[in-house]
Chain A
Amino acid sequence: MAHLAVRDVHTFYGPSHVLHGASLEVETGSIAALLGRNGMGKTTLLRSIMGLTPAASGEIELAGTRIDHLQPFDIFDLGVGYVPQGRHVFPYLTVQENLRLGLRNKRKRDPEIFEKLFGYFPILAERRKQKAGTMSGGEQQQLAIARALAGEVKIMLLDEPTEGIQPSIVDEILELLVRINQADGLTILLVEQNMELGLSVARDFFVMEKGVVVEAGAVAGMDKERVINEYLVV
């Protein structure tokens, strides 16, 4: 069954029409890569799913329930985790405070969840009292992912989590996502500009071009050369 289904979504920023009928389906428990050159609407599509820039028309369904008229906080409550492009950690809050804000019940300090997250990202345990804004890009990225995981979400939207991060940490992050996907069945929609990276972890792929999803399918049967030449060469 589709965990997330987007059908014919049109989205605007003020007068400018950015998504022109985008559609995609992410299977429950799968990892899907959303590819495409800069400016094609990948970030906007995630923003529309999260309710940050609501779709003007079309349908967005989460496990069969329409979410396209909900607010971001309601969508979070339904178990959707969001790791935005540029990470967006709260810069003047500590690592620990950032993580607490990711919890479903922010009143309850949940030692079990924290232990699990610190197990995934040992660096965050070391830095727990440090202000997030003072950490390196890679550390902030790990924090942004951990914060999303703190909400015990069922599906996670990640927007270019490897952008501007040193390769060793990129590998660690991707391996971890695969591990959580396999262990907990977390569904993942991963936006990647680096196609090789995206395809190395994904089962399915989508390619966006000018606000529309133009290619979709299983990575296994993908004609990489053609897709690269048609859509991904700058």
Chain B
Amino acid sequence: MSTTQLILLQILNTGVTMGILMLVAIGLGIIYGLMDVINLAHSEFLMLGAYGWVIARLVGLDGWTGLIIAPVLVGLVGYVIERGLVQYLYRRPLDSLLATWGVSLILVQAARIVFGPAPQAVPTPLEGAVDLFGMPYGRYRLFVLAVSIVIISLTLAVFRYPTFGLKTRAVFQDAEMAKCLGIRAPRIYSTGFVIGAALAGLAGALVAPMLTVAPDMGANFLVQSFLVVIVGGAGSLVGVVGGAGVIGGIQGLISYFSSSVLAQVITLTLAIIVVRVRPRGIFTRK
């Protein structure tokens, strides 16, 4: 392989990592930024999404259906959790942390009971490779990259969308004042939570064929997504997307040139530096 091909390969792989990380972290960032809720169960949204494929197969549906089932199912689960629990924990970060930790344990255990504790492989729905400048690259990975780009752009657009976006930004900046201007803040919180959950579910479904699916698969993504939110700042979607770019980029590049352990060490160090010098994140104003 030529150097150019290697670089291209690296860029594509890093892009896939960044895309998944953005999909997961957006929800975490929205939920923290809008409602001061630290959601430790967010990683379980990803895990449940990954099981979307397994569920699709169990009920006898075609493999691709998993990709649709995952965000819908996980969005519903998110809605139930928001209405049943999280809505009582707004602006109580510590309580929300404890309560969602409980939810996380329950969901992992439930997955163990329903699907069994053993990791399961999900067959790739897109076999084979395409030729990119004389280099073979997995079709499915390209597909994941494309879907991530489209969905992230769509999400950014929804939050920019004239009325909903404006209301959401108002609630982000000053929730009390927004309410005094007739904005139903609780509805915005619910919607934000469900969108975040659905995106994590989609991320889970997207990564499933590239990894193995297991009840405890979420943990690693949770750590990474928290780093994204810390580094990028939870004040805006741009912060989260930027943070995912930085973290995903570092992880991808360093683990390629050196080891993934070094990549972890460097990301953690970066997170610590950011907390010291820009406690509200690199991309957050003020």
Contacts and interface: CB of A to CB of B under 8 A. Distances in A.
Q: Do A and B bind each other?
A: yes
A72 interface: yes
A119 B167 CA distance: 26
Nearest to A50: B180
Contact of B179 (A52, A102, A107, A151): A52
Given A72-B176, A106-B163, A107-B163, A92 B169 contact: yes
Contacts of B285: 92
A131 B212 CA distance: 48
Contacts of A147: 181
Contacts of A50: 180
A52 B175 CA distance: 11
A93 interface: yes
A230 B194 CA distance: 56
- Which of A50, A72, A82, A84 has its CB near the most chain B CB atoms (within 10 A)? A72
B182 A92 contact: no
B183 to A, nearest CB: 6
Contact of B173 (A82, A91, A104): A91
Nearest to A131: B285
A101 B183 contact: yes
Interface in A55-76: 71-73, 75-76
A71 B179 contact: yes
Contacts of A106: 163, 166-167, 182
B177 interface: yes
A72 B177 CA distance: 9
Main secondary structure of the interface of B (DSSP, over half): helix
A147 B179 CA distance: 13
Interface residues of B, number: 19
Interface bracket on A: 20 to 34
A76 B166 contact: no
B177 A93 contact: no
B270 interface: no
Contacts of B182: 73, 76-77, 104, 106, 151
Contacts of B266: none
A127 interface: no
A99 to B, nearest CB: 10
Nearest to B235: A92
A50 B167 CA distance: 19
A90 interface: yes
B179 A73 contact: yes
Contacts of A84: 177, 180
A46 B173 CA distance: 21
A71 B170 CA distance: 17
Given A52-B179, A77-B182, A104-B182, A90 B163 contact: no
Contact of B169 (A71, A88, A90, A151): A90
- Which of B162, B170, B173, B180 has its CB near the most chain A CB atoms (within 10 A)? B180
B112 interface: no
B185 A90 contact: no
Given A73-B184, A107-B163, 14 more contacts: A52-B176, A71-B179, A72-B180, A73-B180, A73-B183, A76-B179, A77-B182, A88-B177, A90-B178, A92-B285, A100-B166, A104-B182, A106-B182, A147-B181
13 contacts: A50-B180, A72-B176, A72-B179, A88-B177, A90-B169, A91-B173, A92-B285, A93-B169, A101-B166, A101-B170, A101-B181, A101-B183, A147-B181
